[in-house]
Structure 1
Amino acid sequence: MNTMEINKLVAGVCGSLLAFLLISMLAHSIYDTHSDEVAYSIEVEETGGEEAVEEEVDIAAVMAEADAASGEKVFRKCAACHKLDGSDGVGPHLNGVVNREIASVGGFNYSGALTSLEGNWDAEQLYGFLEDPKGYAPGTAMAFAGLKKSSDRADVIAYLESNP
């Protein structure tokens, strides 16, 4: 390869880079991507700064309609970590958990978030915990996101009640 061919090769690469630079500058002059100006806005009705009010759930009424058979199906999500045979897995066993004292399974190493809670796992406590474990007990080691449907939470509690 002689010097003339090397010069042609270098000129071709530099010319290509120059073409890409010019195209980029042209595109940026046409399309402004760094502006704070909104090109298209959607009108949204003002709420007047009111806080979103959470719905009060009548847990007794929800529990009255609970179905343990459906709860068994929903419990499969829990079965990855919890067992109902009296042995602990990743999480403590859940035999007799309804009305049992919180964080009371002997030999299981609970997180500080659960040991700091007082009381028993009654239907209301379980309902709140199953909805959002990390929101109910911030700092809990339980990685489960929670059960979003109210009927699913009630069904699981009914299923757990049927497994003393």
Structure 2
Amino acid sequence: MFDTMTMTKTLGALCGSLLILLLGAWVAESLYHVGGKGHGDHAEQAYVIEVEGGDDAGAAEEETGPTLEELLAAADVAKGAKAFSKCKACHKLEDGANATGPHLFGVVNRAVGSVDGFGYSGNLVAVADTWSPENLDAFIENPKKFAPGTKMSFSGMKKPVDRANLIAYLETIQ
């Protein structure tokens, strides 16, 4: 059984601990605060360093790599076959052999959504007419961004060289 004195001491200890915690947070905030006047305010810059070209210089220097055409011209079909290993869990290369995804036999320059007997999802047909190398590149990079609502669970292939190798390999499957 608890007596009143023990309960009062426990409650006092809790309130004292909370008070020390709040005071400590307030002191730390005032010592180490780097923002503006309040929590929601943005800090103003103390000084500005002017550079040649102003704000437009950063946008002009955006790094650009080789074009898709250049990547396809230098593509390695053998590396593309290796890259296909990420696809073969859901896609088959034999004509008419649908799996979780449609077959990829002759997919390059084939009409989008044209495989008989496969139920496509999302806006696939609305975003492209044919599986041109450019459309394949964009789809393989990020399927959900290219065709919102697609059920394809693949997160995408980020490296342009890998995508070009894969597309070059798929062009050989006729």
Report the TM range for the smaller structure's normalisation.
Answer: 0.7 to 0.9
* RMSD of aligned Cα (Å): 3.5
Could you report, residue by residue, the CA deviation over 1:94-128 in whole angstroms, capped at 9, with x for unpaired residues? Answer: 11212322211001112352223554324344334
Could you report, residue by residue, the CA deviation over 1:32-75 in whole angstroms, capped at 9, with x for unpaired residues? Answer: 3624215788968521695769767262x433322221001111
Q: Point out where structure 2 has 5 or more consecutive residues left out of the alignment.
A: none
Superposed counterparts of 1:137-148, under 5 Å: 137-148=147-158
Paired amino acid for 1:78: C
1:65 equivalent to 2:71? Answer no
1:82 equivalent to 2:83? Answer no
User: TM-score, normalised on structure 1?
Assistant: 0.72
Change (3 A) 1:143 1:38: farther
Q: How many residue pairs align between the two structures?
A: 163
Could you report, residue by residue, the CA deviation over 1:20-39 in whole angstroms, capped at 9, with x for unpaired residues? Answer: 23223322333336242157
The aligned counterpart of 1:10 is: 11
The aligned counterpart of 1:36 is: 42
Q: Point out where structure 1 has 5 or more consecutive residues left out of the alignment.
A: none
User: TM-score, normalised on structure 2?
Assistant: 0.69
Change (3 A) 1:10 1:103: closer
Superposed counterparts of 1:99-138, under 5 Å: 99-117=109-127, 119-138=129-148
Change (3 A) 1:8 1:163: same
Change (3 A) 1:28 1:77: same
Paired amino acid for 1:127: D
Paired amino acid for 2:16: G
